[in-house]
Structure 1
Amino acid sequence: MTGQTNPRSAATLMLARDGADGIELFMVVRHHEIEFASGALVFPGGAVNQSDADPRWRHLAEGVEGLTDQMLGLMAAAAREAFEECGVLFARESRGAALVDGERAETLGNAYREKIEVGTLGFADMIEREGLVAAFDRLVHFGHWITPAHMPKRFDTYFFLAEAPMNHVLQHDGHEAVDSVWITPRQARIDADANRRTVLFPTLLNLEKVDRHRTVTAALAATQNDRIVTVRPEVLTSADGRILRIPLEAGYGSAEFLVVGEPGQNARIVRLSATDTARGSAG
């Protein structure tokens, strides 16, 4: 396609905990002045930067055995973005130990979050300086989505799932994210359908995929055994609205979805049967 934009590598971390009504996810509301997904309810995350490819991660982190350099950099980006955006720190004082407690995470956040966010210090620099071990073993690869080719701003995004440390206080940074909430996938869907929140298509489908499990432990166990299939949505048109087609083997419960609403805004999403989809035409 002429003028096609190459997607930028990105990583996002789905922080989960067990709640009274099932699994809850920590999500943030993006600032309304941000160019991409402004005002949307999203998982903490962002673009991969040069420091995420730091070769020191091979000895500064656990859970790196057998990882490609690309996947290691993506996991570093997911952990870094979660630390920058909401203060959660996946790190240990020593190998095999428990995660640092909430007080230690908050102290390190006060000292380093802003420096890491503006790029004057790398995430690996902080880990090494403080004598910590990054706990990348707590992050499980959950999904892989690439923005459709016709979109002007595109991302090649890897989703990771992790259980949130119980005693860490998670809160939005007030810059890229202006609000935050612990929310069940069901409530996020209800809010999106009622136009109370903007929830993008990939976000909503990943929420629904998590919601198949009663506990975070069950979700993580199932995910570790999954084969991750890359999703590159194809956009079709029909008389009823836009149809997004994704690989059925990606595990999102359907291959075609009717999306009623404008891109980047609240939209009602409906799974389509094979009969319904046959009415669509390439757009």
Structure 2
Amino acid sequence: MAAIDDLPEVPTKDASTVILVRDSASGPEVFLLRRVIGMAFAGGMTVFPGGGVDPQDADADVAWSGPPVSWWAERFGVDEGRAKALVCAAVRETFEECGVLLAGPTADTVVADTSGYADARRRLEARELSFSEFLARENLVLRADLLRPWSNWITPVGETRRYDTRFFVAAAPAGQVADGETSEAEEVSWQTPAEAIADWSKGHTMLLPPTWSQLCSIAEFDTVAGVLAAEPEIPVILPKLYEEDGELRVRFPNQEPYYAAGAHPWGKR
């Protein structure tokens, strides 16, 4: 087993990813998207909704309900400006990518139907409208209390695009429909973590280690309430690329089951 030496260290960009969960007869289900093949980052991979922090996320002047920015800064180990940007990006990206909006008319309500915001969603994705402008125009309060911090993964050194990604969990709001009406997804689905991992094991989908690891962690819970009540430690996980038998792999915590199932998404060198 040989480490990969002298790989270029591309700077990271902050990103937010939201694991949407809902209860089912088989336990919690998660919402997954298969990204369009050919995208610059994680093309063809099955992922949770999310994306890079936009510069406007840090400056967003929004009505806010839930733990203060200082609480999020402490949980994620960042300053308050980055914490605010990460939470705003989490809510914005979830709305853009699957139409689920963690916001409401008041501090203790949530939008029941987002279909009336379809044009705004399109404009947000095209960066023709800022998230703060959208919330202000619709008199909506950002519901930070509906999110929970979950984990922190950084793209390995050696990749040409690198993200410092904070993962959140959130229960899908009652009445709202998660969809695939985004230019970034080929298909979407609700699955239990066990179903998603089984599909990947059969070669039907591709899961990068962070997605696989979050599925494994959600699989430990019997209900959405249990997921939301958890208070996981959030260490910074920075996987490392290495080469084994001419094949490029990535080293990360508890990786053995991932490779035991035959996962080799990085290919041959």
- The residue identity in structure 2 corresponding to 1:189 is I
C-alpha distance 89-24 of structure 1, shift in aligned 2 (>3 A): same
**What TM-score, normalized by structure 1, do the two folds share?**
0.83
**Structure 1 range deviating more: 206-215 or 256-265:** 256-265
Aligned to 2:44: 39
Q: Distance in 2 between matches of 1:241 and 1:140?
A: 36
Going from structure 1 to structure 2, the CA distance change for 1:2 and 1:86 (only over 3 Å counts) comes to: closer
Which residue number in structure 1 is paired with residue 138 of structure 2?
130
2:96 pairs, out of 84, 90, 105, with 84
- Whether the 8 Å contact between 2:158 and 2:241 is mirrored in structure 1 is no
Alpha carbons of structure 1 residues 261 and 163: separation in structure 2 relative to 1, 3 Å = closer
State the partner residue of 1:263.
265
**Long gaps (5+) in structure 1:** 248-253, 266-283
Q: Does 1:101 align with 2:112?
A: yes
- In the aligned structure 2, how far is the partner of 1:2 from the partner of 1:147? 13
Residue equivalent to 2:76: none
Pick closer, same or farther for the CA change 1:100–1:258 going to 2, 3 Å. closer
Residues 15, 162 of structure 1: 8 Å contact kept: yes
The alpha carbon displacement at 1:219 in A equals 1.0
Q: Which residue of 2 aligns with 1:16?
A: 21
| Cα separation, 1, equivalents of 2:53 and 2:181 | 18
The alpha-carbon deviation at position 149 of structure 1 amounts to 0.6
* Structure 2: gaps (5+ residues): 1-5, 73-79
Match of 2:235 in 1: 229
State the structure with bigger RCO (CA 8 A, min sep 6), 1 or 2: 2
TM-score normalised over the length of structure 2:
0.87
Pick from 127, 151, 154: which aligns with 2:159? Answer: 151
Counterpart in the other structure of 1:71: 83
Gap change, CA 1:212 and 1:27, over 3 Å in 2:
same
- Pick from 19, 31, 42: which aligns with 1:26? 31
Structure 1 residues 191 and 122: alpha-carbon distance in aligned structure 2, compared to 1, 3 A threshold = same
1:62 aligns with 2:62: no
User: What's the CA shift string for 1:256-275, capped at 9, x where partnerless?
Assistant: 5663444357xxxxxxxxxx
Distance 2:234 2:145 in 1: 17
CA shift for structure 1 position 240: 10
Distance 1:5 1:226, change over 3 A: same
Partner of 1:160: 168
CA distance in 2, matches of 1:168, 1:34: 28
Structure 2: distance between partners of 1:189 and 1:158: 21
Q: Provide the secondary structure at the position in 1 that maps to 2:115.
A: helix
Distance, in Å, in 2 between the alignment partners of 1:199 and 1:3 is: 24
SS of equivalent to 1:85: helix
Q: Distance in 1 between matches of 2:7 and 2:37?
A: 30
Deviation string 1:86-130 (CA, Å, 9 cap, x unpaired) is 1111111112x221112xx2112x230011111111111111111
Question: SS of the residue aligned with 1:19?
Answer: coil
1:120 and 1:241 map into 2 onto residues whose CA distance is 43
Q: How far apart are the structure 1 equivalents of 2:209 and 2:228?
A: 22
Tell me which residue corresponds to 1:185: 193
Select 2:127's aligned residue among 100, 119, 128: 119
Return closer, same or farther for 1:165/1:255 CA change in 2, 3 Å cut-off: same
Tell me the distance in 2 between the aligned counterparts of 1:127 and 1:155. 26
Residues of 2 paired with 1:200 and 1:14: CA distance?
Answer: 15
2:125 maps to a residue whose letter is E
